[in-house]
Amino acid sequence: MVDGVARVVLSVDDAEALRPGEVLVTPVTDVAWTPLFPRAAAVVTDIGAPLSHAAIVARELGIPAVVGCGDATSRLRTGDLVRVDGEQGTVEVLEQGSAPGPPGQSS
């Protein structure tokens, strides 16, 4: 389990915005995302399963991950303080952030 600030990243092309210790929130990951995982405190994805890329890489690195949320990128905003519990498979917003989300993300 980890508490951290969420960073919604909709494309690997925008991934340089992820700061060390932030919670990576993204639609889905593949091999191109792997270099970002050591920078993330946790990973949350819309799409995924126990054997998906995000779940396997996070498990290998000891990073909490909750995959297959369905709507994490629309419900969480960059700047939200969240608690990610990989064992229970839960993501809880502890405090809403004030940072704007990525382009196209509603308020």
* DSSP code for 105: -
* Catalytic choice (53, 64, 67, 82): 53
Q: What is the DSSP string of 6-69?
A: EEE-SSGGGGGGPPTTPEEEES---GGGGGGGGG-SEEEESS--TTSHHHHHHHHHT--EE---
3 is catalytic: no
Catalytic residue numbers? 53
